[in-house]
Chain A
Amino acid sequence: MSGVRVLVGTRKGAFVLTADGRRKDWTVEGPFFAGWEIYHMKGSLADPNRIYVSQTSGWFGQLLQRSDDGGKTWHQPGLSNEAIPPPGPPKALPNRFVYDTSAETGKPLTTHMWYDGTQHPWEFKRVWHLEPSLTEADTVYAGVEDAALFRSTDGGENWKEVSSLRGHGTGPKWQPGAGGMGLHTIILDPSNPKRIYIAISAAGAFRTDDGGATWKPINKGLKSQYIPDPNAEIGHCVHHVAMNPSRPDVLFMQKHWDVMRSDDAGDNWKEVSGNLPTDFGFAIDVHSHEPETLYVVPIKSDSEHFPLDGKLRVYRSRTGGNEWEPLAKGLPEKNCYVNVLRDAMAVDRLDDCGVYFGTTGGQVYVSADSGDSWAPIVHDLPAVLSVEVQTLN
């Protein structure tokens, strides 16, 4: 029977929530990696038992964890928990993310802009997002802070920077968003293995059409009040980008203010905020089977990161933007001042597309009817940083 596995990253560990296709009775497992910030965890489409996890801590830095059995057990790729390691240099360094400045494949490590307009060294802090290959279980991309893209082709045992992104030329003008200069969105085009979209807070969105050899900013049409140049190529604070795999050229973006849409792979963007009560927010996603059905969680403002009037609402558009309707059934109607972070919303691929989101108040909600009604799966987790869902057959 079909089912779903929801992967929840929180400030204090990872949780795995499973249910059958009815999505009513849930098994909650965790916390795994208790006490660590789990910025993101995502399963491989090529092998649903393969799950990658970004485990991070201000004290101890970055770790990479992997499961090969659907979340029952975990290990750092390439490292044994028990055996005394063989002598000699290690073969696996799963948590080593070092910018590539080599003459052969790297780019010079320039500086980037800091909050005060001065230049600041590029420094690795953490992995924000993991994106497994659509076709190969051992290939996975990592978006990191300070913004760069890394790729592993050995199941996360070793990582190499795709340095052409950091070094393509506009890097010195990239500036951190409030949460850091993170590469938070990685979208792999299912119709074109050489096309990848990424987004950085607060540099903007970028695209490669040659497998990462070259990159171009794709921010034309984005408007940001804080940027004096209305035609600025970079500098926009893109919060998240979503795509339905059946339409890889159509992208939807939640920006620092504005919900945007592109119909040409990001070459041009137009605003589709329409009648949203506020168009600030972080998360955005697209219905699995209805490519014009979108979901956002409007947040009051960039100064007040909580829902309007204390009411938690998801907004849905069935027209690809502009016309939005509030979805409230089953969601808190008062005294709710949580946030929903950029990677904390997901959709499954069951016939009745399920929509999921997690909040900074520790709740994870599910709708098994495309958003018409919602129910909490759990409501007392640590602050939720990310939500992904695997559809299991």
Chain B
Amino acid sequence: MVRVALPFHLRNLAHVEGDVLVEVAAPVTVRTVLDALEARYPMLRGTIREYETGNRRPFLRFFACAEDWSLESVDRELPAAVAKGEEPLIVLGSIAGG
């Protein structure tokens, strides 16, 4: 199971507290994790990735194992620690706009 850490408003939308766990078949990438997340929590569709392009929304960033994955290919395999559920994929809202 892969852990995903969501920002406050998306946790509220999904009615969850803390990190969420989603089952992701290999390869574990940003794309496949988000696919699994949105399949389990359809209310999150369109809130992390834009519908038309599938691109990350501009004011969100992805982190894994203390590294910024926002500009990496969404098909690059995430670290093993994320795939094993030891570390979360973090979806972080930028501190912007008050």
Contacts and interface: CB of A to CB of B under 8 A. Distances in A.
Interface of B: 7-10, 13, 15, 39-40, 42-43, 45-48, 50-52, 57, 59-60, 93-94, 96-97
B93 A59 contact: yes
B46 A61 contact: yes
Given A35-B9, A59-B60, A84 B46 contact: no
Nearest to A57: B9
A150 interface: no
A98 B57 contact: no
Contacts of B59: 58-59
A79 B43 contact: yes
Interface residues of A, number: 25
Contacts of B47: 60-61, 63, 95
Main secondary structure of the interface of A (DSSP, over half): loop
B9 A60 contact: yes
A84 B16 CA distance: 13
A85 B43 CA distance: 10
A259 to B, nearest CB: 34
Given A59-B93, A61-B57, A84 B40 contact: yes
Given A57-B9, A62-B46, 11 more contacts: A59-B7, A59-B57, A59-B59, A59-B93, A61-B57, A63-B13, A63-B47, A79-B42, A95-B45, A96-B51, A98-B51
A61 B42 contact: no
A90 B15 contact: no
B52 A124 contact: yes
A81 B46 contact: no
Main secondary structure of the interface of B (DSSP, over half): loop
A85 B9 contact: no
Contacts of A99: 52
A59 B42 contact: no
A30 to B, nearest CB: 15
A92 B39 CA distance: 12
Contact of A60 (B15, B51, B57, B96): B57
A280 B42 CA distance: 44
Nearest to A93: B45
A367 interface: no
A60 B9 CA distance: 9
Given A85-B39, A90-B42, A95-B46, A59 B94 contact: yes
A76 B43 contact: yes
Contacts of B94: 59
A71 to B, nearest CB: 18
A85 B52 contact: no
Interface in A197-241: none
A36 interface: yes
B9 A36 contact: yes
B52 A81 contact: no
B19 to A, nearest CB: 18
A58 B15 contact: no
Contacts of B9: 35-36, 57, 59-60
24 contacts: A35-B8, A57-B9, A58-B96, A58-B97, A59-B57, A59-B60, A59-B93, A60-B47, A60-B57, A61-B46, A61-B57, A63-B46, A81-B15, A81-B43, A82-B15, A85-B39, A85-B40, A87-B39, A90-B45, A92-B42, A93-B45, A93-B46, A95-B47, A96-B46
